[in-house]
């Protein structure tokens, strides 16, 4: 378990009942520091960029464009990009288009269970401004209010070629050390949590899903 | 004292070679499978990158002491299997810690890692891990039967429990291999090997699109790196054991590479051609034909070869 941040204290876990609180950790995550030697950090960033495990969790209609990525025609494996069925082992979260409020809850839990450094790619126009769901009653309009996004691939829907180009772009960002979504999330955790709780009315989960 | 220092040094060298070879073999097989599906496939160095990436993860969550020990038991199983199998026949350097009863110990070590993994995965508290462990142990118990029968058959045949003596008895031409002197035992063992290798039709335990990835669901970061390393060591050790018992062993590294690759390709060719069994189907499969072949091999040895 990570050490608690002394200045901010543990998470409140107010959404849980008293007996449930014993079952969940209330530790507050801390941002990680880069390795002290610059060469090591550069090398490990290069390795991270070339070994991307994508969380196979289709959150919206865009997930249908992810499946062809693994087939003979596009074959994303050759770029070190592969699906992984459990968030614990994944390092890339693909937001497949619109995120409904109900899915957002699952997205938050899955994202928090992923181990850092972790990266988020948002597909389609919906995570940017809501797209065709702009005035829908149950779809979030601006996705990066809730989860930090490292890369957007817009379009409705973006074709697999564009997704591959996006993956290559993410690799470039990781190699340059600019994909810092994980740390941004933890440094601004209270702001993100306030945004998330504003839209998720039935918050019955721990404040940070370890 | 000096003798043991040298022995351990040689073993570490063997371990290093087998680890690198196992990882490369994994990549080659993944590329072969990709070619079957009309893809290019992962780069050859992908398994190395995956391990370094997982070691370089900056966060990790623990679920208790047993959760730590799961991957450690697993890698102990892999290293233990390798430690008691002489890799190259007649070589002082790559003989490892072989002794008179090493076959029993190696066979025990093959299953040791799975049991440790079951305890560790159970500790993680994830329901998918528990289901995966139940499936894995059920399937393991089933393929253990033909494998044990095949081992018993060749122990009777060569009248020894030492792998080195079994390899020695197979020297002097291909016709001396167990493959030709006792084909029934080899058939039973190779069918059990299909179950051990984790390719279709027996990959229901760790298939990503069944319950997510089975027992290792909760394992991440360095734990996962340890398990990926073990996967390579264990695959190498198992292949070397099969090569020594059934395919005449090897007298140099090139022979090791060719033979182990060919043995692995059996599992890959079957895996590329057949769909997946459910767990109850695979248990029924192993307890029927392969078990019968195993029993027939013992009868064959008793009637024609022993004494």
ipTM, interface predicted TM-score of the complex: 0.89
A50's CB contacts (< 8 A; 6+ apart) are A79, A80, A171, B46, B49, B53
pLDDT of residue B256 exceeding 90, the answer is: yes
- Residue A70 Cα distances to B38, B123, B304, angstroms: 11, 33, 53
Task: Say what the pLDDT of residue B306 is.
Answer: 63
Of the residues A89, A90, A112, the best mutation for testing chain B's interface (the one with the most B CB atoms within 10 Å of its CB) is A89
Nearest CA in chain A to B215: A86
Q: Are strands A92-95 and A119-123 parallel, antiparallel or unpaired?
A: parallel
Nearest CA in chain A to B212: A85
B237's CB contacts (< 8 A; 6+ apart) are B18, B78, B81, B82, B85
The low-confidence residues of chain A, meaning pLDDT below 70, are 1-8
Q: Is-contact B72 B226, C-beta < 8 A?
A: yes
Q: Mean of the pLDDT values across residues B295-305?
A: 90
Share of chain B above pLDDT 90, in %: 54
Of the residues A28, A35, A41, A47, the best mutation for testing chain B's interface (the one with the most B CB atoms within 10 Å of its CB) is A47
**How many angstroms separate the CA atoms of B217 and A113, rounded?**
12
**How many angstroms separate the CA atoms of A100 and A104, rounded?**
6
Three-state DSSP state, A136: coil
**How many angstroms separate the CA atoms of B255 and B246, rounded?**
14
Task: Say what the pLDDT of residue A1 is.
Answer: 40
Q: What is the DSSP string of B69-83?
A: HHHHHHHHHHHHHHH
A126 φψ region: left (φ > 0), alpha (ψ -120 to 50), beta (else): alpha
Q: Which residues of A touch B209 (CB under 8 A)?
A: 85
User: Of how many residues is chain B composed?
Assistant: 307
Q: Mean of the pLDDT values across residues B15-19?
A: 94
Give B24-82 pLDDT, tens digit per residue: 999 999 999 999 989 999 999 999 999 999 998 988 888 888 888 888 998 999 999 99
Would the CA dihedral through B138, B139, B142, B148 be positive or negative? Answer: negative
**How many angstroms separate the CA atoms of B31 and A50, rounded?**
17
Query: Which 3-state string (H, E, C) describes B157-174?
Result: HHCCCCHHHHHHHCCCCH
Task: Say what the pLDDT of residue B147 is.
Answer: 94
Give B93-127 pLDDT, tens digit per residue: 888 888 888 899 888 888 888 888 888 888 888 88
A vs B, Cβ pairs < 8 A, gives: 82
């Amino acid at each position: 378990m990570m050490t608690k941040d002394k200045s901010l204290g543990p998470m409140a876990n107010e959404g849980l009942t008293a007996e449930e609180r014993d079952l969940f950790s209330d530790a507050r995550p801390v941002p990680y520091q880069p390795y002290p030697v610059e060469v090591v950090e550069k090398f490990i960033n290069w390795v991270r960029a070339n070994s991307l495990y994508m969380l196979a969790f289709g959150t919206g209609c865009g997930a249908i464009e992810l499946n062809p990525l693994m087939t003979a025609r596009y074959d994303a494996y050759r770029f070190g990009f592969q699906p992984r069925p459990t968030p614990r082992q994944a390092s890339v979260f693909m937001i497949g288009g619109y995120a409904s409020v109900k899915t957002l809850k699952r997205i938050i839990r899955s994202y928090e269970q992923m181990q850092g450094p972790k990266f988020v790619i948002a597909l389609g126009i919906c995570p940017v401004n809501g797209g065709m769901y702009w005035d829908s009653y149950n779809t979030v309009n601006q996705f990066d209010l809730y989860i930090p996004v490292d890369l957007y691939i817009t379009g409705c829907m973006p074709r697999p070629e564009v997704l591959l180009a996006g993956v290559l772009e993410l690799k470039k960002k990781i190699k340059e050390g600019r994909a810092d979504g994980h740390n941004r999330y933890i440094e601004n955790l209270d702001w993100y949590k306030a945004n998330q709780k504003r839209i998720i009315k039935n918050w019955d989960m721990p404040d940070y899903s370890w | 004292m000096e003798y043991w220092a040298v022995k351990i040094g040689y073993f570490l060298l063997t371990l290093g070679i087998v680890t690198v070879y196992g990882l490369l073999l994994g990549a080659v097989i993944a590329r072969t499978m990709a070619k079957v599906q009309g893809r290019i496939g992962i780069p050859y160095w992908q398994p190395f990158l995956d391990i370094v990436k997982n070691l370089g993860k900056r966060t990790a969550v623990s679920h208790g002491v047993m959760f730590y020990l799961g991957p450690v038991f697993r890698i102990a199983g892999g290293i233990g299997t390798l430690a008691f199998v002489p890799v190259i026949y007649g070589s002082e350097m790559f003989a490892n810690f072989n002794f008179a009863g090493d076959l029993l110990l190696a066979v025990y070590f093959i299953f040791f890692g799975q049991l440790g993994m079951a305890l560790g995965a159970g500790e993680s508290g994830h329901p998918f891990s528990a289901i995966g462990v139940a499936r894995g142990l059920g399937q393991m118990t089933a393929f253990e039967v033909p494998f044990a029968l095949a081992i018993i058959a060749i122990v009777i045949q060569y009248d020894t429990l030492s792998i080195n003596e079994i390899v020695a008895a197979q020297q002097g031409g291909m016709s001396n291999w167990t493959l030709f002197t006792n084909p029934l035992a080899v058939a039973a063992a190779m069918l059990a090997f299909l179950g051990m290798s984790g390719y279709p039709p027996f990959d229901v335990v760790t298939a990503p699109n069944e319950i997510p990835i089975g027992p290792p669901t909760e394992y991440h970061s360095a734990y996962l790196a340890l398990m990926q390393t073990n996967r390579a060591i264990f695959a190498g050790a198992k292949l070397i054991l099969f090569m020594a018992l059934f395919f005449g062993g090897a007298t140099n590294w090139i022979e090791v590479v060719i033979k182990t690759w060919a043995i692995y390709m059996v599992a890959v060719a079957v895996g590329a051609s057949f769909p997946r069994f459910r767990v109850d189907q695979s248990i029924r499969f192993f307890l029927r034909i392969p078990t019968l072949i195993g029993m027939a091999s013992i009868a064959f040895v008793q009637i024609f070869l022993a004494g």
